[in-house]
Amino acid sequence: MVPESIAVLGGGLTGLSAAFHLSRRFPAACITVINKDTRFGGWVRSERVKFAFTGQSGNQEEAEVLLEAGPRTLRPDARSVLELIHLLNLSSSLITVPKSSAAAKNRFLHIPGSEGIHRIPSSLLDIVTSLKPSNAHLGRILVSSAVKELLKRGNRPPGAEDESVDEFLSRRFGNEFARVFGSALVHGIYAADSRKLSLRSAFPSLWNTEDRGRGSIVAGLLRAPSSVGDLSYDLGELQDKMRDVSVYSFKDGIGTLVNALVKYLREQPNVHMCGGVRIMGLRLNPRNKRLEVTTSSQETLSSRYVVSALPLHQLRGVLSPAIPIPHLTANAYSSVTVVSLVFPSPSSSPALHPDGFGYLVPRGVDGYSAAKGSGILGCVFDSSSTAAQDICHSGRGFTKMTVMLGGPYVSPTSCASFSSAPPSPQVDVPTLISELSYQLNQPLPSPILVKVFSNTRCIPLYSVGHLQRMDDLKRVLASEPWNGRLEVVGAGVGGVSVGDCVEAGRNVGRSWS
C-alpha cells in the first residue's frame, strides 16, 4: 500500500536522508519530521569563528576558521552521499584532497611511551622503506605480521559468527599488530576499545576477506574482486570527479550537507519540519493499525508508517511496553570531547607538525585504566588537510589542529545510566598542549583560539553479536503486529559513518508500495 502519511522520528543525518528520499519516492504522502532540537543535523556541527591575533610582523591580523564538532571529512566511496551532493547541487562547494597529496599519503601513529609520531606506510614500497631506523618499529610489525598471516592456516573457531576486532586481528596477525594498528583504527572511527567492539558490525569486509582468502586476510586482499559501480545512484559527473580523491569536505564544513537537506525539505509542500519537539510516546493502535506518536506539544500524530532514526535507547524510552522490541538497550555509548586549537605559525622552521592528515594513538601496553593525561585518541592536522576552509585576511599566519579525547579512556555510558545528567568534560588546556608537544616532539606555543565541543553519548559501541541482534530486531518489525510499518534505522543499527547514515535513510520504505 502506498503510504499517505509517514512520521520520521529524529532529525539527524539518517532522519534527514530518509525524509529526502521518501519525499521523492512518495510525493503524495504527508511526511512529518520530528526533532527534539531546533537545530537539525544531530552530531554534525560546523561553526565558522572569526578572531584577531598578533601576526609574525607584530601587527594585528584578522582571521576566520571553520570548526567541526563532529565528522570533518568524507571518503568518496560512499555513493549515497555523492548522490545527495549531486541532487542538491553542492558540487561547487566541495574541497577535495587528492590521493597524491601529503595529507592523503602521510598518516601517523604516536606510540604511547615514546616521543614523536611515526608515519604509517601506505604502499608496498612504503613498507620496505619504512624499515629504516627512524620508523623501523612500525615497518617491522607490518612486515612480520603480514608474512606470518599469509603462512598461517585458517584458525577461525568452528561455528563462530562474530568476535571482537582485537580477537580477530590477534588471531590472524598477532597481539602486537592488533594493539598498535587495530586499536588505533578503532580509536579513529569508533572511539572505542577494540577488545569490546564487534568485528562483523564494525568491519564486515574483514570477515568477508578472510572467507575469500580461505582463512587468510592477506590472500583475501590479493583476491579482492573488482569493484563495480551501482548504477542505481544518480551521481552525475561526481563519480569521475572523485576518482583520484582521498577525502573531501565542503568550504563551510559537513554542515553544508545538513543545511541543504533542511532547506530542500522545508521547500517541499508535503514535508513538515517540526524542530524543538520531543517525542513522548509511540504506540500501535490495535483497531486501525496506525502508529500514534505523542509529542511534547500535546499533539498526537497518527501515521500509516513511522521511521525511527532515534538512538535505540531513546526509542525504547518512548515505546509502549505492550509491544516490546528486542535489543534496544544492548549496547553502551561512547563520549568524545573535541578540542579545536589554533596556534600562531612559527616565523621560521620547523613547522608545528609534519605535512599530513594527522595521527592516531593506539592503546598502551597497560590498557586504559593505567593511562595518564587527557586520554588523547588522535589529532587532525586541519591546516594540511582542509586549509581551504580557513581565511587569514593578511596571509596565512596560523596552524589549526583538532584533538579527540575520551572514548575508552572514560567509562562507556550504559543504557541504565541515561536517566542521569552526564558530567561536563573538563579540559586542562595547558596539560593538553604539553601532551601534544610531547607526542609531536615539537614545542607548541600558546594557542590563540581554543574551542571545546562535548559529544556525550555520541557513538554506539557494537558489542559482539550486534549483527545477529539487529537481524532479530528486523524480523520482529517485519512480523505481526508491526508488519513493516515501523522501520528502525540509524547509527545504533548499522554503521556510524556519514555514508552509513545517509545510506540507511535512502533505503527506508522500499517495501511500502
**Average pLDDT of the chain, as a whole number:** 91
246 part of a folded domain: no
Q: Based on the domain organization, do 336 and 442 belong to the same domain?
A: yes
Please tell me the total count of domains within the chain. 2
pLDDT digits (tens, 9 = 90+) for 67-106: 999 999 999 999 999 999 999 999 999 999 999 999 999 9
pLDDT exceeds cutoff 80 at 414? no
Q: Based on the domain organization, do 437 and 340 belong to the same domain?
A: yes
Q: Based on the domain organization, do 56 and 9 belong to the same domain?
A: no
248 part of a folded domain: no
CATH number reported for the structural domain that contains residue 365 in this entry: 3.90.660
* CA gap 363, 111 in Å, rounded: 8
Q: Based on the domain organization, do 365 and 410 belong to the same domain?
A: yes
* CA gap 231, 132 in Å, rounded: 45
Virtual torsion, Cα 31, 72, 45, 234, nearest 10 deg: -20
pLDDT exceeds cutoff 70 at 116? yes
Q: Based on the domain organization, do 296 and 393 belong to the same domain?
A: no
Stated as kind and residue range, the H or E segment containing 52 is strand 46-54
Q: Based on the domain organization, do 488 and 383 belong to the same domain?
A: no
The three cell numbers of residue 467 are 549483527
pLDDT grade for 411, boundaries at 50, 70 and 90: confident
Output the pLDDT for position 102. 93
118 part of a folded domain: no
103 part of a folded domain: no
Quick one: CA dihedral 194, 415, 292, 42, positive or negative? negative
Residue type at 87 in one-letter notation: L
pLDDT exceeds cutoff 70 at 277? yes
Q: CA separation (Å) from 350 to 161, 244, 441?
A: 50, 30, 11
Q: Based on the domain organization, do 450 and 338 belong to the same domain?
A: yes
Q: Based on the domain organization, do 472 and 381 belong to the same domain?
A: no
* Lowest-confidence pick of 263-272, 278-287, 385-394, 495-504: 385-394
25 part of a folded domain: yes
* CA gap 204, 162 in Å, rounded: 10
Output the pLDDT for position 369. 80
* CA gap 8, 304 in Å, rounded: 12
Strand segments, DSSP code E, in 375-474 are 376-380, 391-392, 398-406, 449-461
Q: Based on the domain organization, do 411 and 490 belong to the same domain?
A: no
Quick one: CA dihedral 318, 319, 322, 325, positive or negative? negative
- The pTM assigned to this predicted structure is 0.93
Last residue of a domain, one of 434, 454, 474: 454
Q: Based on the domain organization, do 336 and 356 belong to the same domain?
A: yes
Residues spanned by the domain of 345: 47-76+331-454
285 part of a folded domain: yes
pLDDT exceeds cutoff 80 at 270? yes
Output the pLDDT for position 224. 76
pLDDT digits (tens, 9 = 90+) for 164-221: 999 999 999 999 999 999 999 999 999 999 999 999 999 999 999 999 999 999 999 9
pLDDT digits (tens, 9 = 90+) for 426-449: 789 999 999 999 999 999 999 999
Output the pLDDT for position 397. 76
227 part of a folded domain: no
CATH number reported for the structural domain that contains residue 301 in this entry: 3.50.50.60
Q: CA separation (Å) from 348 to 52, 54, 62, 167, 397?
A: 21, 16, 21, 47, 12
Whose CA is closest to 461, among 193, 171, 215? 193
pLDDT digits (tens, 9 = 90+) for 144-166: 999 999 999 999 999 999 999 99
Output the pLDDT for position 423. 56
Rg (CA), the chain: 24
Q: Based on the domain organization, do 434 and 475 belong to the same domain?
A: no
pLDDT digits (tens, 9 = 90+) for 23-37: 999 999 999 999 999
Output the pLDDT for position 109. 96
Averaged pLDDT, 12-19: 98
Q: Based on the domain organization, do 395 and 314 belong to the same domain?
A: no
pLDDT exceeds cutoff 60 at 422? no
- The C-alpha cell 528502525 sits at 488
pLDDT exceeds cutoff 80 at 275? yes
Output the pLDDT for position 454. 94
239 part of a folded domain: no
pLDDT digits (tens, 9 = 90+) for 323-338: 889 999 999 999 999 9
